[in-house]
Amino acid sequence: MAHNTHFHRSVAVATGNQKLGEAIATLFDEMTRFYHLRLDPSDSDEEMRGEHRAVADAFRERDPDTAERIVLDQVARSQRRVRDALLSGADDGIGALGQMVRLGPF
């Protein structure tokens, strides 16, 4: 998880936009909490490293279209993983979302 956060924050800082770097750091800090609750980041470590290498290669080759495609694909996969984790069943039948946010009586 630390490698992932470092990579994304480094890309944000490289844009020269310090606020974006700070926002990324905050976002990944919050995401880490969710990973500890429900996702196993080791499940996707190798995949993330490959995506990061591919994005870095696209940057070096000055190929924004490829970089954009890789990032959009990565975001879509991450959204699916998080959605699936939120919707996965828990012992109480309400899934991870219910574990994270107690809704109270209906």
pLDDT, tens only, 22-46:
888 888 887 776 666 556 555 667 8
Rounded-to-integer distance, Cα 31 and Cα 23, Å: 12
pLDDT score for 57 = 96
pLDDT of residue 89: 55
Full residue range of the structural domain in which residue 15 is found: 2-100
The secondary structure element, H or E, covering residue 3 is helix 2-14
pLDDT reported for residue 55: 93
What is the count of structural domains for the chain?
A: 1
Question: Which parts of the chain have pLDDT scores under 50?
Answer: 90-92, 102-106
105 in any annotated domain: no
Instruction: Kindly state whether residue 80 falls inside one of the protein's structural domains.
Output: yes
The torsion region of residue 102 among left (phi > 0), alpha (psi -120 to 50) and beta comes to: beta
The model carries a pTM of 0.62
Residue 44 lies in a domain: yes
**79: exposed, middle or buried (Cβ count in 10 Å: 0-12, 13-18, 19+):** exposed
**Count of CA atoms in the C-beta half-sphere (13 A) of 65:** 0
pLDDT at 62: 95
